[in-house]
């Protein structure tokens, strides 16, 4: 009952805004549905795990966070082991990834003393879960990445960029037009509509500008701004960022905006506030933006390749050796799920942004 009342309020809020201001940009719809301080999806739900809406890699296996922690430890040493330095996670979920990462990274001499843990999280509800998971490390919370203090830093972001609001544009016979969200009373539903005015080609990612009619371009300005901010920070103060997310290597003109609820896909304009909304990450544009800000950005590689190079098989086998047969099989199955091309191995990609001098990043080629 309480759930229904809340959902009605989210829907009402969107309908009121559309009634007042006309059709809204998809980015505004997405930002409200996910992040509204009262009725947003991440405020209302703990979406993780079998009982929730989706399972993320750190919730599949502790090995995921441990390998990323090893990555951080090695890169920190390559940076000259700065003390202090900022260890920043963007969108930490339940705090599982950071907890597992710290368990491994803190084995390096001096890492624990030097690390200042900063978490970027808008959801008050999830902040409580994260604070509890990471209590020995006294994490400092920020609502926006730009609020993180300056200094040498390592950033980790798993399934964060895909939650940042996107705008969508459709190629019509007469040029590009923005896709907006409107409310259709006869259908009692939110629907897409096209903006009346044309969108200038310069707003469309370069590889798509000449795409055929019917193509969709997706642009996340907050994601590009964040890549610029991270690129600027690591090139000025030293450090690196490891981004893992859904995404193709190249934008191909298809819509990727989607809604996930109870482990299934749904109409992303149905039941706002009740489902996770994401879009594939345009790694190519993020890399270009970070480079323009003075940083080095690697080509994105499949998550499976990164985890294999970081030693997922050896680590999983070590864990399995000490477990009873049923647990050992579960450990191996979780490992397969993270790296198998049919599961999370290639759908997810990893990319690093780093200070130009940090050439030997574990798991990535020196390109």
Ligand X SMILES: C[S@@+](CC[C@H](N)C(=O)[O-])C[C@H]1O[C@@H](n2cnc3c(N)ncnc32)[C@H](O)[C@@H]1O
d(CA 162, CA 35): 13
- Looking at the chain, how many residues does it have? 367
Task: Report 159-188 residues binding ligand X (CB under 6 A).
Answer: 159-160, 163-164
Beta bridge partners of 183: 190
Among 23, 70, 73, 93, binds ligand X (CB under 6 A): 93
What is the spatial distance between Cα 84 and Cα 149, in angstroms, rounded to a whole number? 12
Is there binding between residue 274 and ligand X (CB under 6 A)?
A: no
The neighbour count for residue 258, using CB atoms within 10 Å, is: 17
Q: Does 97 bind ligand X (CB under 6 A)?
A: yes
CB nearer to ligand X: pick between 133 and 295: 133
Minimum CB distance to ligand X smaller for 43 or for 285: 43
Q: Work out the angle between the directed axes of helices 325-339 and 312-321 (0-180°, nearest 10).
A: 170
Among the listed residues 42, 137, 183, 283, the single contact to ligand X using CB under 6 A: 42
Should residue 28 be labelled a site residue for ligand X when binding is judged by CB under 6 A? no
Sole window of 121-129, 212-220, 258-266, 308-316 interacting with ligand X (rule: CB under 6 A): 121-129
By CB under 6 A, is residue 259 in contact with ligand X? no
Any contact of residue 35 with ligand X (CB under 6 A)? yes
Binding of residue 58 to ligand X (CB under 6 A): yes
CB of 246 to ligand X, least distance (A): 10
Closest residue to bound ligand X by CB: 91
To the nearest 10 degrees (0 to 180), the angle between helices 96-105 and 62-78 is 50
Size of the site for ligand X (CB under 6 A): 21
For position 61 contacting ligand X by CB under 6 A, the verdict is: no
Structure tokens at 257: 């905006």
Query: Terminus-to-terminus CA distance in the chain, angstroms?
Result: 55
Nearer to ligand X, 27 or 234 (CB): 27
SS3 content of the chain, % helix, strand, coil (to 5): 40, 20, 35
* Residue indicated by tokens 């500008």: 209
The verdict on 120 binding ligand X (CB under 6 A) reads yes
Q: Does 345 bind ligand X (CB under 6 A)?
A: no
Q: Using the rule CB under 6 A, give the single segment among 51-59, 99-107, 175-183, 295-303 that binds ligand X.
A: 51-59
User: If binding is defined by CB under 6 A, does position 117 make contact with ligand X?
Assistant: no
* Structural contact between residues 36 and 13, judged by C-beta atoms closer than 8 angstroms: yes
DSSP states of 170-200 as a string? EEETTEEEEEEEEEETTTTEEEEEE-SSPBP
Interface residues toward ligand X, by CB under 6 A? 34-35, 42, 56-59, 91-93, 97, 120-123, 126, 158-160, 163-164
């Amino acid at each position: 009952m309480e759930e229904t009342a809340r959902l009605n309020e989210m829907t009402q809020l969107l309908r009121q805004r559309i009634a007042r201001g006309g059709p809204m940009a998809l980015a505004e719809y997405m930002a409200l549905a996910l992040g509204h301080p009262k009725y947003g999806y991440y405020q209302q739900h703990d979406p993780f795990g079998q009982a929730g809406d989706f399972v993320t890699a750190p919730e599949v296996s502790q090995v995921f966070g441990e390998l990323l922690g090893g990555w951080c430890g090695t890169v920190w040493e390559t940076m000259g082991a700065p003390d202090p330095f900022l260890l920043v996670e963007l969108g930490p979920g339940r705090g599982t990834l950071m907890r597992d990462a710290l368990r491994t990274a803190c084995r390096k001499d001096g890492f624990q003393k030097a690390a200042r843990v900063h978490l970027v999280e808008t959801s008050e509800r999830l902040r409580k879960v994260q604070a509890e998971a990471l209590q020995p490390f006294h994490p400092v919370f920020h609502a926006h990445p730009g609020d993180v203090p300056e200094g040498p830093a390592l950033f980790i972001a798993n399934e964060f960029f895909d939650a940042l609001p996107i705008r969508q544009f459709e190629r019509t016979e007469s040029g590009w037009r923005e896709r907006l969200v409107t409310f259709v009373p006869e259908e009692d539903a939110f629907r897409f509509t096209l903006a009346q005015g044309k969108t200038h080609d310069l707003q469309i990612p370069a590889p798509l500008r000449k795409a055929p009619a019917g193509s969709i371009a997706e642009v996340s300005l907050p994601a590009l701004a964040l890549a610029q901010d991270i690129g600027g920070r690591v090139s000025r103060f030293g450090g690196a960022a490891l981004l893992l997310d859904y995404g193709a290597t190249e934008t191909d003109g298809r819509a990727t905006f989607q809604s996930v609820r109870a482990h299934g896909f749904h109409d992303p304009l149905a039941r706002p506030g009740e489902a996770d909304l994401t879009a594939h990450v345009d790694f190519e544009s993020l890399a270009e933006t970070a480079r323009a800000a003075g940083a080095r950005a690697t080509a994105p590689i499949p998550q499976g390749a990164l985890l294999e190079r970081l030693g997922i098989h050896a680590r999983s086998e070590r864990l399995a050796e000490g477990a009873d047969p049923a647990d050992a099989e579960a450990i191996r199955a979780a490992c397969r799920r993270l790296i198998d091309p049919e599961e999370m191995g290639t759908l997810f990609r990893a990319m690093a942004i780093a200070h130009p001098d940090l050439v030997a990043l574990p798991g990535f080629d020196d390109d």
